[in-house]
Amino acid sequence: MMPLKRKQNGAVLLTSLIMLVVLTLFAISMINSSSLGFRIASNFQAQKVMEQGVHEQMAKLISNPANFSAPVVQPDACVNGVGAACTGGYLVKVGMATCIGFGPAPGYSKKVGELDPQDNDFEVQATVVDPANPANKYMTIVEGVRVRMLAGSCP
């Protein structure tokens, strides 16, 4: 018996091309989604590095009591950069400690003729900037610090 000749319409070819297009679009969306996740993780890591640099510079300022009795301008600090131009890094600018208030220190009794201690509240502000363009600010962090000093010491 002789096989019957059938006319093929190309349904298998059309179906396989549609499947190939769908799989290609799926692969492209997966690549884009993974690169987006990588960018998010990189930005998060850069933000944490900047925050760590800011807190390190603030800790240097806070650890020196002289910065609260006679505030001085802190030098700019380079974080993860190379050279004097801080290439490839971030520049941290820490402002002077500013006295924003004071009050009596609890647990002390004042004797006549003696100075009593008081709690002074200071505000310290640090800004992370681009070393190539200092007008481009990445973040600003403000911290409050309470320092116990003799009365009248809050400048």
Q: What is the Cα–Cα distance from 56 to 52, expressed in whole angstroms? A: 6
Report field, pTM of the whole predicted structure over 0.75: no
Of 100, 91, 96, 99, give the one whose Cα is nearest residue 127.
91
Q: Kindly state whether residue 6 falls inside one of the protein's structural domains.
A: no
Residue 1 lies in a domain: no
Instruction: Quote the CA–CA distance of 72 and 66 in Å, as a whole number.
Output: 9
Mean pLDDT by runs of 10 across the 155 residues of the chain is 67 89 92 84 88 88 84 82 83 88 80 75 90 84 89 76
pLDDT in tens, 4-40: 666 667 788 888 999 999 999 999 988 888 888 888 8
Instruction: Name the domain count of the chain.
Output: 1
18 found inside a domain? yes
Domain assignment present for 32: yes
Asked whether the CA dihedral 2, 7, 11, 14 is positive or negative, the reply is positive
In a domain, 55, yes or no: yes
CB atoms within 10 A of CB 131: 19
Cβ(78)–Cβ(94) below 8 Å: no
Q: Is residue 69 domain-resident? A: yes
Q: Is residue 155 part of a domain?
A: no
Name the residue range of residue 129's domain: 12-107+115-150
